[in-house]
């Protein structure tokens, strides 16, 4: 029977390395999420554009990034650019971009769905008040849509945090790769895997709590009708 030795997790050097890699995981995830929000916004409005060519480009982006695995996209970006175009790639930069592009496809659907869920009368009311289409979107429609985006966007951020472990496959030293390096040194496989599982669990639940708190704070009470 396997005997666990969790004392290895009490060594300061191991604690320091795990916490440092956890911080890097959070940084890479948030950077990828920022890229995701930017691309998701562009693609969502592209899907609602009047020009057919813009809609087709947006749908092509959505189809590709939802239809292929993140791991394949990550490898294509990191290894493909140097091979095809001779462009040098930096592991963590490639990882952040890949996370953002992949998540952006899902974020675009969240954003589009939230905007289209707002009653059309809101736009008509804004135009009646003398606002332009853009002003009505910015001042009336989008603020209401943001509240409806919070729950699904929180879930998307949690998914992105878990997906960040795939960056280890292109040598990015985040939490999962750091654990693997420490396992190779100590042969304490289960101990370190359990430790990082708990760290992922804590971070993702913290994200969930923050998301729920924001929902309650920004809630208008419409859901109580």
Phi-psi region at 199: left, alpha or beta (left = phi > 0; alpha = psi -120 to 50): alpha
Token pair, residue 197, equals: 């599982």
**Which pLDDT score, from 0 to 100, does residue 132 have?**
77
Q: Which of 59-68, 79-88, 130-139, 141-150 has the lowest mean pLDDT?
A: 130-139
The closest alpha carbon to 43, from 29, 56, 33, belongs to 56
User: Has residue 55 got a pLDDT over 50?
Assistant: yes
Note whether 21 and 192 are within 8 A (CB): no
Residues constituting the chain: 225
Neighbours of 20 (CB within 10 A): 13
pLDDT band at 178 (very low <50, low <70, confident <90, very high): very high
pLDDT per residue as tens digits for the range 86-136: 999 999 999 999 999 999 999 999 999 999 888 888 777 787 777 777 778
Please check whether the domain covering 7-219 is classified as CATH 1.10.3720.10.
Answer: yes
**What contacts 150, CB < 8 A, 6 or more positions away?**
211, 214, 215, 218
Q: Domain coordinates of the chain in residue numbers?
A: 7-219
Give the model's pLDDT for residue 1. 52
pLDDT at 222 over 70: no
| pLDDT for the residue 11 | 92
Segment 15-22 shows an average pLDDT of 97
């Amino acid at each position: 029977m396997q005997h666990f030795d969790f004392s290895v997790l009490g060594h300061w050097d191991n604690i320091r390395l795990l916490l440092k890699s956890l911080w890097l995981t959070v940084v890479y995830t948030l950077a990828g999420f920022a890229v995701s929000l930017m691309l998701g916004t562009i693609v969502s409005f592209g899907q609602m554009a009047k020009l057919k060519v813009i809609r087709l480009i947006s749908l092509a982006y959505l189809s590709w990034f939802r239809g292929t695995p993140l791991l394949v996209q990550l490898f294509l970006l990191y290894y493909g650019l140097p091979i095809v175009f001779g462009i040098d790639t930096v592991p963590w930069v490639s990882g952040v971009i890949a996370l953002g592009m992949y998540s952006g496809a899902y974020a675009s659907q969240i954003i589009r769905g939230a905007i289209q869920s707002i009653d059309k009368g809101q736009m008509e009311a804004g135009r009646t008040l003398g606002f332009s289409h853009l002003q009505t979107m910015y001042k009336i429609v989008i603020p209401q849509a943001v509240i409806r985006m919070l729950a699904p966007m929180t879930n998307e951020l949690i998914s992105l945090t878990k997906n960040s472990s795939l960056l280890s496959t292109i040598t990015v030293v985040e939490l999962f790769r750091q654990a693997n390096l420490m396992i190779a040194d100590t042969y304490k496989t289960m101990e370190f895997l359990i430790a990082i599982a708990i760290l992922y669990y804590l971070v993702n639940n913290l994200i969930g709590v923050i998301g729920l708190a924001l929902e309650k704070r920004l809630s208008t009470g419409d859901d109580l009708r």
